[in-house]
A and B are shown apart, each in its own frame.
Chain A
Amino acid sequence: MQLARVIGTLVATQKADGLEGVKFLVVQPLDKHCQPMGEPAIAADGTGQAGPDELVFVIASREAALALPEWFVPVDLAITGIVDEVDVG
């Protein structure tokens, strides 16, 4: 899992089966010092509680499809936790 900052929300009315009720957020991937790294991406919110400006960790690929209440829906990036604290000394 990698760190990311939520930088926006995304709404889609028409979407593939299984994605009903899934919240989409725009995230900026971060390095371990919480500095932006790479291109922003769209993640499904597996916590249901993440919001803009929050520091989160995300899981990619097949595992993302296991991070939502309904399994194996078509997503490739999902938020699996909201970070309280990162200590990298």
Chain B
Amino acid sequence: MYIGRVSGTVVATIKNELFEGRKLLMVDKLDLAGQPTAKYDIAVDMVQAGVGDLVLVLDEGNSARQILDREPLGAIRAVIVGIIDAVDLAEGALPNV
């Protein structure tokens, strides 16, 4: 899983049936200092997240399918599974900051 920031929404009419009725959000992958990396995901939202929210993103297919009750099959991988309230790091965990 990784920490992400919801940066936008994606709308698609024609899509895999797995995504019918589900919200797709654009999520920027963040580093531990909270800075965006170059990576992003279009993720399925399971927690009513919105633009600007700091979120916990699952990025593994089997787990994603479990959450959607679609084991063992379904073309899904990135799922927003939590809205993050706080992240506490040990002192010195970020040597570059």
**Chain A residues packing against B (C-beta within 8 Å):** 1-3, 31-32, 37, 46-47, 49, 57, 59, 61-64, 66-67, 71, 78, 80-89
B5 CB to closest chain A CB (Å) equals: 11
* Interface secondary structure of A, over-half rule: mixed
Closest A-B pairs by Cβ, 8 of them: A88-B8, A81-B15, A67-B75, A81-B12, A1-B42, A66-B75, A85-B11, A82-B14
A66 touches B15 (CB 8 A): no
Q: Is B96 an interface residue (CB 8 A)?
A: no
A89 touches B51 (CB 8 A): yes
**Chain B residues packing against A (C-beta within 8 Å):** 7-16, 19, 24, 26, 28, 38, 40-43, 51, 61, 73-78
* Interface secondary structure of B, over-half rule: strand
B73 touches A71 (CB 8 A): yes
B8 touches A82 (CB 8 A): no
Residues of chain A lying within 8 A (CB to CB) of residue B28: 32
A46 touches B16 (CB 8 A): yes
Expressed in whole angstroms, the Cα–Cα distance for A32 and B9 within the complex equals 10
Which of B10, B41, B42, B73 touches A66 (beta carbons < 8 Å)? B73
A47 touches B75 (CB 8 A): no
Expressed in whole angstroms, the Cα–Cα distance for A63 and B75 within the complex equals 5
Residues of chain A lying within 8 A (CB to CB) of residue B16: 46-47, 67, 80-81
Looking across the interface, which residue of chain B has its beta carbon closest to that of A50? Answer: B14
Query: Known: A59-B77, A67-B16, A80-B19. Is A87-B9 also a contact (CB below 8 A)?
Result: yes
